[in-house]
Structure 1
Amino acid sequence: MTWEAANGRFLAASLEWLREVLRRPGEEVPTAAVEEAEAINPPPALTVLAARLGLSRFERDTLLLCAAVELDPSIAGLCAEAHGNPHMAYPTFGLALRVLPDPAWEAVSPQGGLRYWQLIEGVSGQGVVSAPLRAAERAVNYLKGLNSLDDRLSPLVTPLARTELSASQQRVAEEVASQWALAGPVQLTGADEAAKRQITAHAAELSGLAAYRLEASALPAQPVELDLLARSWQREAALLPLALYLEDEGGARFLDRITGPAVLAVREGGPGLRSIEASPPTPAERALAWREALGSDQPVIDALAAQFALDLPGIAAVAAVAGADPEKVWQECRVRTRPRLDGRAQRLESTASWDDLVLPEQSRRLLGEIADQVGQRTRVHETWGFGERGLGLSVLFAGPSGTGKTMAAEVLANRLALDLYRIDLSTVVSKYIGETEKNLRKLFDAAEGAILFFDEAESLFGKRGEVRDAHDRYATIEVDYLLQRMEAHRGLAILATNMRSALDTAFMRRLRFVVEFAFPGPVERKTMWQKAFPTRAPCEGLDFGRLAQLQTSGAMIRTIALNAAFLAAAAGSSITIETVLAAARTEFRKLELPVPERDFRR
């Protein structure tokens, strides 16, 4: 006999016993048939429900009485006869206390199992004993052997899909499952949200549970409603059973109201719960997965493993889309890991190359060393063991406005085939205590592996004077936190400033490189003028030596060249020295710079 059939046999015997109880109130009705039908393995649904939710025998029989009206309409008439009133064809607590064995007044209270777990409906603030009772639909379905998540709860939660984990992540999942068995909820820390969800799903499977995610935005704001939702979840977790995945501070409010297997996913661990770190697969594990996915040991594999913190399903998905072409694989990884920075950063299209840079040899050499260090991270950090000293590469670009700092960042991004983001510090720094760190944490977590370009760094990294109040002390904390995140950033972080002298020397010591961008001299400006005009542009009689005498930066030269091209196009002529000088005069006036006419005459 199947369990479903055996459970039905038990329900039939229980209903027959209940009919006799209602027909013969006050008399002892034999229970041998019920006990015989109950002796199955696994036990009947009513027995399991009562055990998991801690119901007394009287509470269990009261629930059966309320559900019986739904299972057998004839029970309603028997209730009316037992009440002695044809209009009361329904169960009540009063009736249960009078006809069922071992009555207990505690079952009527709000803390009794029936009302606390929301197994019955219809009880109001007044007339608790005489109010018509009905079993909740969830309870009736469970008794019949239909065990699915409550319809009132299912719109609020999302099942966590189990995916393939690396060996290191499997060990974390096993630790989570062990902790659930010993002490209940845990904190999963780290920046990788996908890893935390996947580890939770795997830990739930190891524990024989189904894992669901409850977003903080779905939680009620009112404490009473939050308590009711917590009770519903706790009931479902016991009946199905379930594991819960919650996120950030909002989830902590809910976690305080429940027990059992649960995960609170946070960036950094706090007091009260066991903290376990969840990370993406290690670079070595990613390299192994890339070799299996690409079917070869290509030289690009170590670079892929070091740069992109993809999980194992992500690596397989990239290989399925891009095949074994290294360039296509790299580009697909860039797209899949491209961060969402909520307006706090602007992604720059990096088209500039080394040939576009006009810099002193020392500065070019330093930029080359920076690119080489990004490319050799796996060997130095992983193979040679230097990773314990920090993974980040923090550099400073110092020089006047328009001298090529942004272009140099674009050249590095182009050389390394990585995304470049310019950070507007004004959208990150907040006057409210704690908000700046929160913004920075979200920024760095989202942009892991990308190149971050912080312009006008002196606005945050200025020299620290005397600490006069709490705001001054907190500003120092903000700066220290930013430097700490830059040093831990698995990528390149660039600070750019027009005023190196304004920076605190204590911060300078924590930077790996400082690249100077001096205002160009005549020789550099001549080269910049020569590079400013594409080979296809119709230039005629341009005297680059003459133009190099103008006190212009590289950015000004590019703007002047472009405006001169438009002047020539509008006039239907070639780009001549006259059109370039006219565009230069306009640019100088725009920037409110002196315009000595002798410098702008032919």
Structure 2
Amino acid sequence: MTHDLRTRPDIDGDGDGDGDGSRELWERLARVEERVRRAVAARHAVDPDPDDPYRGQYLTPEAVERILESPSTFLPIANRDGPTPSAPSPAGGRLGRLCADFALLPLDVELLLVAMAPDVDARFERLYGYLNDDLTRRRPTVGLALELCGQPSAGAGRFRLAPAAPLVVGGLLEFAESESPLLSRVLRVPDRVTAHLLGDDEIDARLLGVARVVEGGRVPETEAAAPLTRAARAANPLVYLLNRGGDPIRPAIDALASAGLRPLVVDVAALTASPAPGPLTRVLAMEARLGGAGIVLGPLEAMAPQRPEQARLLRELCAACGGVPLFVFGTGGWDPLWSRESPLLFTVPSPAPAQRVREWSWALAHAGSAARVDMADLPAADLTEAVASYRLSADQVRKAADVAVRMAEVERRPLRADDLRVAVRAQNGAGLERLARRVEPAVDWTDLVLPEPTRRALGELALRARHRDRVLGQWRMRPGGGRGRGVIALFAGESGTGKTMSAEVLAAALGMDLYVVDLSTVVDKYIGETEKNLERIFVEAADVNGILLFDEADAVFGKRSQVKDAHDRHANIESAYLLQRMESFDGIALLTTNLRANLDEAFTRRLDVIAEFPMPDERQRLALWDRCLGTELPRGSDLDLEFCARRFELAGGSIRACAVTAAYLAAETGLPLTMAQVVSAILQEYRKLGRLLLESEFGPWLGRERLDGARPTTFDDDRRPTTGGRPRP
């Protein structure tokens, strides 16, 4: 060797080579190097052919004699250098903290340093190959590590490498060639442990995409953070946060930060989807100890702990995190089988509106400062109104704020409230889209033509959606009984009266997407399957900022009947399940029906708003005709919309269909829309609806249509429709 580890590299650039208190580490590694030098010299002194290139591939009689003359494995090995391996562990620096966090003995530290030496200095690879009598084995075996630490291979030192020993349980040492005898197994230190001791604080590469460390500024401490901080410092820091409509991640992060720990937030979906989630739990616990972190895990229901393999995974994680603060959150109860110790239970209520606005303000300010976007043009009142109806976790708020700010930055304009609404919709998962049809709202209040009572009912529904957290959560106006904080409304009226369009307008006003449930994917002929399908929809909808629309709801929410056979009994069970599930639903659900009388009366009691959609009167029909024909379609001089509104009693949906049909007829002629084309479209709609064609409604247009129906329609040179050789009026 031409140099040794006593010439330490300058890790932190301050000229003393003491990167983050690593002086002790380099001194200890230098003593390991001295022992290796002495071991190599002792081996070389009795080796008849130290330059043999085929070493380890055959065994000569002389080698057998040397093995027989070697010291007994049951006697301690003479100390080859001054300092003994039983010297006290260092009190400071990363090595000292490692000893304290993993409960290591002095011998454990020596074994760790012997195994880590090849990762720090490549010369140790060849030296260990020589000492192993096999140049292909360039790391220390268990037997060689014990020898270098002055321990007999059959002594108590080998038990410091047992499966239950701190070095192995903590993940600081790994074994290769596990099928070999213990003394022949190769020791290896994970790269993350070596990097940590050398001053690196980056998260373990095996946890990328599974966990992330939350750094940087934080919002002011919440009310729940004080007792949670004391829980994080407790002897058994296992905490379960029961989510009741709030954001459990934020108080957990605040509590860990207040306790002086780095929050390590785990993506449950990525953890369970990993090919080997069991080993990852041990890596996660090791990372938390190395980095002085606490773990935040949830939501627990995404882990599906009711399944045996997932329950076992959760139990392994709780066991591996012994002594590490572990905050688990979910909406259900905690099963004692999931951990050896019972957790401390805290309930996370729904946040107050002021707290939610502070979350958004902090996230927007943080994102805006990085993107250099002016936040002054977004008044506090607009921010409060824009985010009032959303229920997002702290991570979702951070992501939505970042998206909104980047949208404003790309377009080089100040941030607007519409940017927040678009960014929130981008956080909705795709799970509900597999069960319902997503509709992005493209209409607003100006597109609605409704009577005043219906408009007031819709306004009340929007008001309830915006302030439900304050009224139902903060003021507790719906206590007990497992009731949720959802808003349920019924839209009742004939087909085409604007029920679905009103749902779309309401979604646009709240800045949400509309999810229309296709009942063909819900109703199942097999017993119990309909309830399972509905449960999947409700579970997915609870995590989405959207409005759930059950169109033609009487097909599912029908009246319970007298039980005459098994079919009636199971049909009543479906209705009873829906009654309970709708009451515990935390989102916004709209039911539409053409036949309100078919709905069970028990549903009516659980509805927050009932909006009646009557057939439009003459004034409303005139407004509908004008709206549906739009402003871009050219209109002829003979077009009489007042006649259409007065004579034809059509719903808004039918008027829109007539307007579209008439527009196609006008497009074919290339001329402005005429009254004849509008009446022709109305006649087609009447036939489609199965209604009688009465002279009292159509007047002279009905006779003209009958006359025209007996003559072939052709086109003249100007592409004008003609009948019997004469142009139509």
What TM bracket, shorter-length normalisation?
Answer: 0.7 to 0.9
Work out whether residues 164 and 313 of structure 1, in 8 Å CA contact, stay in contact via their aligned partners in 2: no
Partner of 1:557: 655
| Counterpart Cα distance in 1 of 2:183 and 2:133 | 16
| Counterpart Cα distance in 2 of 1:211 and 1:556 | 58
Partner of 2:666: 568
Partner of 2:418: 331
Q: Return the match for 1:503 from 587, 599, 611.
A: 599
Q: Shift of the alpha carbon at 1:498?
A: 0.9
Instruction: Read off the aligned partner of 2:654 and give its amino acid letter.
Output: M
Q: Residue 67 in 1 paired to residue 116 in 2?
A: yes
Q: Shift of the alpha carbon at 1:227?
A: 3.1
| Counterpart Cα distance in 2 of 1:454 and 1:434 | 16
- Residues 267 and 233 (structure 1 numbering): CA distance in 2 closer, same or farther, change over 3 Å? same
Secondary structure at the aligned position of 1:406 is classed as helix
| Counterpart Cα distance in 2 of 1:61 and 1:510 | 69
- Residues 49 and 413 (structure 1 numbering): CA distance in 2 closer, same or farther, change over 3 Å? closer
- Which deviates the most, 250-259 or 463-472? 463-472
- Residues 295 and 268 (structure 1 numbering): CA distance in 2 closer, same or farther, change over 3 Å? farther
Secondary structure at the aligned position of 1:437 is classed as helix
Instruction: Tell me the number of residue pairs that the alignment of Structure 1 and Structure 2 aligns.
Output: 585
- Which deviates the most, 270-279 or 568-577? 270-279
Instruction: Read off the aligned partner of 1:306 and give its amino acid letter.
Output: A
Please list the CA deviations of residues 545-600 of structure 1 after superposition, one character each: whole Å capped at 9, or x if unmatched.
46644453221112112311321232244433321221122223444x14537554
Task: Show the 5 A alignment for 1:468-487.
Answer: 468=566, 472-473=572-573, 475-485=575-585
Instruction: Read off the aligned partner of 2:703 and give its amino acid letter.
Output: R
Work out whether residues 396 and 495 of structure 1, in 8 Å CA contact, stay in contact via their aligned partners in 2: yes
| Counterpart Cα distance in 2 of 1:36 and 1:132 | 23
Partner of 2:544: 446
Task: Show the 5 A alignment for 1:312-391.
Answer: 329-338=416-425, 340=428, 342=430, 343=433, 344-353=436-445, 356-359=448-451, 362-367=453-458, 369-370=460-461, 386=477
Q: Shift of the alpha carbon at 1:187?
A: 3.2
Q: Return the match for 2:326 from 237, 259, 262.
A: 262
Q: Shift of the alpha carbon at 1:347?
A: 2.9
Secondary structure at the aligned position of 1:515 is classed as strand
Q: Shift of the alpha carbon at 1:239?
A: 2.5
Partner of 2:693: 596
Partner of 2:497: 403
Q: Return the match for 2:224 from 164, 167, 172.
A: 172
Task: Show the 5 A alignment for 1:206-217.
Answer: 206-217=258-269
Secondary structure at the aligned position of 1:482 is classed as helix
Partner of 1:8: 26
Q: Shift of the alpha carbon at 1:382?
A: 8.9
Partner of 1:187: 240
| Counterpart Cα distance in 1 of 2:578 and 2:664 | 46
| Counterpart Cα distance in 1 of 2:273 and 2:423 | 35
- Which deviates the most, 141-150 or 256-265? 141-150
Q: Shift of the alpha carbon at 1:530?
A: 5.7
- Which deviates the most, 554-563 or 581-590? 581-590
- Residues 509 and 122 (structure 1 numbering): CA distance in 2 closer, same or farther, change over 3 Å? closer
Q: Return the match for 1:282 from 352, 360, 373.
A: 352
Secondary structure at the aligned position of 1:436 is classed as helix
Work out whether residues 242 and 332 of structure 2, in 8 Å CA contact, stay in contact via their aligned partners in 1: yes
| Counterpart Cα distance in 2 of 1:302 and 1:86 | 69
Q: Shift of the alpha carbon at 1:521?
A: 5.8
Please list the CA deviations of residues 521-544 of structure 1 after superposition, one character each: whole Å capped at 9, or x if unmatched.
667646644654446741315274
Q: Return the match for 2:675 from 569, 577, 597.
A: 577
Q: Residue 456 in 1 paired to residue 552 in 2?
A: yes
Structure 1: 5+ residue runs without aligned partners?
Answer: none
Partner of 2:175: 121
Instruction: Read off the aligned partner of 1:53 and give its amino acid letter.
Output: F
Question: Max radius of gyration: which structure?
Answer: 2
| Counterpart Cα distance in 2 of 1:577 and 1:356 | 25
| Counterpart Cα distance in 2 of 1:566 and 1:15 | 90
- Residues 229 and 511 (structure 1 numbering): CA distance in 2 closer, same or farther, change over 3 Å? closer
Secondary structure at the aligned position of 1:346 is classed as strand
Q: Residue 236 in 1 paired to residue 287 in 2?
A: yes
Q: Residue 106 in 1 paired to residue 159 in 2?
A: yes
| Counterpart Cα distance in 2 of 1:139 and 1:413 | 51
Task: Show the 5 A alignment for 1:406-421.
Answer: 406-410=500-504, 412=506, 416=509, 418-419=511-512, 421=514
Secondary structure at the aligned position of 1:575 is classed as coil
- Which deviates the most, 255-264 or 470-479? 470-479
| Counterpart Cα distance in 2 of 1:307 and 1:69 | 58
| Counterpart Cα distance in 1 of 2:130 and 2:406 | 71
Q: Shift of the alpha carbon at 1:163?
A: 4.5
Instruction: Read off the aligned partner of 2:115 and give its amino acid letter.
Output: C
- Residues 63 and 43 (structure 1 numbering): CA distance in 2 closer, same or farther, change over 3 Å? same
- Which deviates the most, 71-80 or 5-14? 71-80
- Residues 476 and 210 (structure 1 numbering): CA distance in 2 closer, same or farther, change over 3 Å? same
- Residues 30 and 511 (structure 1 numbering): CA distance in 2 closer, same or farther, change over 3 Å? same
Work out whether residues 280 and 309 of structure 1, in 8 Å CA contact, stay in contact via their aligned partners in 2: no
TM-score, normalised relative to structure 1: 0.78
Work out whether residues 420 and 451 of structure 1, in 8 Å CA contact, stay in contact via their aligned partners in 2: yes
- Residues 129 and 549 (structure 1 numbering): CA distance in 2 closer, same or farther, change over 3 Å? same
- Residues 79 and 358 (structure 1 numbering): CA distance in 2 closer, same or farther, change over 3 Å? closer
Partner of 1:29: 79
Partner of 2:214: 160
| Counterpart Cα distance in 1 of 2:123 and 2:330 | 54
Secondary structure at the aligned position of 1:601 is classed as helix
- Residues 402 and 201 (structure 1 numbering): CA distance in 2 closer, same or farther, change over 3 Å? same
| Counterpart Cα distance in 1 of 2:116 and 2:251 | 39
| Counterpart Cα distance in 1 of 2:421 and 2:86 | 65
Q: Residue 423 in 1 paired to residue 476 in 2?
A: no
Work out whether residues 69 and 76 of structure 1, in 8 Å CA contact, stay in contact via their aligned partners in 2: yes
- Residues 111 and 376 (structure 1 numbering): CA distance in 2 closer, same or farther, change over 3 Å? closer
Q: Return the match for 2:102 from 50, 53, 63.
A: 53
Partner of 1:515: 611
Partner of 1:394: 488
Task: Report which structure shows greater RCO (CA 8 Å, sep ≥6).
Answer: 1
Task: Show the 5 A alignment for 1:195-214.
Answer: 195-214=247-266
Work out whether residues 625 and 641 of structure 2, in 8 Å CA contact, stay in contact via their aligned partners in 1: no
| Counterpart Cα distance in 2 of 1:51 and 1:299 | 51
Q: Shift of the alpha carbon at 1:357?
A: 1.3
Q: Shift of the alpha carbon at 1:479?
A: 3.8
| Counterpart Cα distance in 2 of 1:94 and 1:328 | 66
| Counterpart Cα distance in 2 of 1:226 and 1:37 | 38
Q: Residue 227 in 1 paired to residue 278 in 2?
A: yes
Partner of 1:271: 335
Instruction: Read off the aligned partner of 1:477 and give its amino acid letter.
Output: Y
Instruction: Read off the aligned partner of 1:340 and give its amino acid letter.
Output: N
Structure 2: 5+ residue runs without aligned partners?
Answer: 1-15, 44-70, 337-342, 363-374, 705-729
Please list the CA deviations of residues 356-409 of structure 1 after superposition, one character each: whole Å capped at 9, or x if unmatched.
5143x5445544555566677799779987576986543321111012223444
Work out whether residues 160 and 198 of structure 1, in 8 Å CA contact, stay in contact via their aligned partners in 2: no
